[in-house]
Structure 1
Amino acid sequence: MANVVIVGAGSGFGKRLSLDILAHEALRTGSIALVDINEESARHVAEWVQALVRQLGAPVEVRWATDRRRVLPGADYVVVAIAVGGRAYAGSPYYEEVMIPAEYGVEQSVADTVGVGGVFRTLRTAPEMLRICRDMEELCPDALLINYTNPMAMLCWAMNEATGIEVVGLCHSVQGTSEQLAHYINKPYGEMRFWVAGINHMAWFLQLEWNGEDAYPLLFEAAENPEIRAKDPVRFEILRQFGCFVTESSTHMSEYVPYFRKRRDLWEPFGLKERRPAKEAAGSRWDWQAPDFLAQVRGEKPIEVKASHEYASGIMNGIESGVPFRFNGNVANEGIITNLPAECVVEVPCFADREGVHPCVIGELPTQLAALNLSNIAVQDLTVQAALEGDREKAVHACMLDPLTAAVCSLAEIRTMCDRLFEAEKHLLGYLE
């Protein structure tokens, strides 16, 4: 029996993960509690999940709440997918985190991992993540926290450092990229094998095989095809120059390193564009009156019971059923990758079974790949210190060390940029001194 709490259920993960959970027979007992600060969102998602439970005839209790403390007691798994201060990718404060750096020539592509946007997103999100952990320490101390909230590595690092809760962070870049690679080399995905390790959004396909043979020669051959290369130009350039394929998209990867976005003349060859988010986050994320949604809630239209490629339900199923489940997770390094800091968070192959989550030991990364990871880990480290210590100056230093920001701006410009963001987000960052 599994008791699951999903915090941030009004996001895209509430319905999706509930469906994933109920796609596993071993998870069709216990409870699913859906938490969102938006009462309407929590209630509507719960109605949909209740309809799915009725369709399956499963003895699963479905609850919803705006206060997580009401439903945390007895939880075995707490899934967190939240945005703090506003919508994740529209309106304030996200708008300022993209547009203020853009005034200084720092053109971020997503701004949710590292960079100025990633630093400030961490600063405004980490306190709430720590409060969730404190509630768990009091109400369900043995529960596993499964994090989907970005910036993944920095938030998991902060929770590992400051709390006693077991944390694993999940992303879908390994699944998505491995499927893309099968497509690029024109081979069936079911015949592919891979071994991936590094950090979140910058992990490396250290091994890529098709039918037991090294598939990298096929990938290098595919990279010579202009049509294929144009689909992923940044990552194919990283492959060509550094010898390994990276997990995040070309759009994402372009902002983690100093090579692609620092000058406009570089943009066109790599298919890059500026990001201009909406200044106002208008309307609800979901249309709760959509005909299909209402028909499913009323039981008039069946819900297709098919799990996505998200890992969360597979982890729960592995632990509850005892059938081992392999996935890539974000965990405390602690010697897993020996040439990255022990305290950082790495994304590595893991197994889940009745005994819990077990990361696999990697050893050393190739030096050039570790160096790219370390350039981002330096930013992560200072940002986590800033968040845990309430140290504003360390946040500024984190931005000064960001590879893209440093490639574009002077130190004085970076400090002024940070001062403007501190002012714009002072209602969220009052704990910093």
Structure 2
Amino acid sequence: MVSTLLSLPTELLLDVVEAVDDAASLRSFALTCKLARLVAEPVLYRAVLVNTGSQASCLAQALRQQQPPTRAELVHTLDLRSEYGEDADLGALTPLVGEMIQLRALSMESPFANYGYWRSSEGQDWWESLIQGYRTMFLDAQCGAGLQNLTSLTIHWSGHTSRFWLLTEFKPILTLPALQSLTISCAILDDDLTDGLATFAGTTPLTHLELIECFVSPKALTAVLALPRALQSCHLGIMRHHRIPSTNCHQASPEQQLEALHQQRHSLQQLIWVDDHFAYDTDVHRVFTIPGNGLSDFTELHTLTLDGASALLFSTLFSECAPPNLDRLRIIRHDKGTLLDHPTDSVAYTRIPGIPPPIALHQYLPRLHYLDLVFSSLSRYGDRLWTNPDRRDCVKRLGEDYQARGIRLAIFAVFRSSYIPPYLFGEEVPVEVPVYRAEDAWFSPEMT
């Protein structure tokens, strides 16, 4: 059977190998002869997931077999998501990453990043030595040669002794020549990060940036957002769920964040902004202090996601400072009241409106076509949103009003687990479930 298969033209044989989704079968096929190995190994090593130390050790041993083509050169995607307690040999892979000259996507996650294990009293001192190996990989030009073609990098790290890590120690990742997507969490971006970055301003190909649960100084944020030639997507989830780490630096305020974002106003298409400064702030007058033109000169911005009490929602979207070409607005509510309560049942949200007036959005966002309201609930199904028929009628009238102005109103409920972002390997990511759609006046049975 194998000999018959190998008699096929190489192009057809490659198609057959590409269609096999069982790694064990593909490995068995690769062991039959040299031709089978040459055809199968590029598929076997193209995307590698490692979540235990034993897997890392076995992979390192296989990659060290220097037979043409070198196996390390076959790896395009490397996902290091170690399980807690099963990660003692991950360091075996560190020196080999520099040989992965075709590496395009790299994900790295520490075993302590998982929130459920973070508070464990057990410790593994070797993790600091592994971090040092990663530092070497990013800082040493020779060791990091395999990162020159990297287009996507995700780092979710937390150490055993500290929840946060210093991005300054890994600064070269910000200026990798081919990097287009960067996602990092639980990092500290302090003023020291800015040294030498001005040289690269406006030169990097980065188009997508996520800073999740990061502590960011104004100076550092300005320097980082100055690097891309044309940033298209940005997620600023700055310290939304964690306590601010002990540091001498001040975190960037919403005003300073907006000022830094203005450097990418010519290209930014999607923005997610959730921030602790206003997430639970009941002083509405404070949010009108953002100076300048707001988002009015973000001409390419078409999708915007905000906290229900964000500075932008109050001081920008309901004024002439709104982005002129916005197509979709997503508003996320985190309180325990309902979306329609104004004032809400929660004392902390007595001055936060539920649904924006249709006429206000229509006036300042003339190109808006979609309004998504996301209600974040900590329980599995939460309270039923519209047990009262009058409230359902109110929602329906609002939906009709929006429809008349060309805006489709949709309301979602998010059913969450106890985990908080960043969402790690094997964790359940919160799911948005539609509970109301204006175009067909549909209400979810579970919410009525």
On whether the aligned pair clears a TM of 0.5, the verdict is no
Please report the TM-score for the alignment, with normalisation by the length of structure 2.
0.22
Rg bigger for which structure? 2
Please report the TM-score for the alignment, with normalisation by the length of structure 1.
0.22
Name the one with the larger helix percent.
1
* Higher-RCO chain (CA-CA 8 Å, sequence separation at least 6): 1
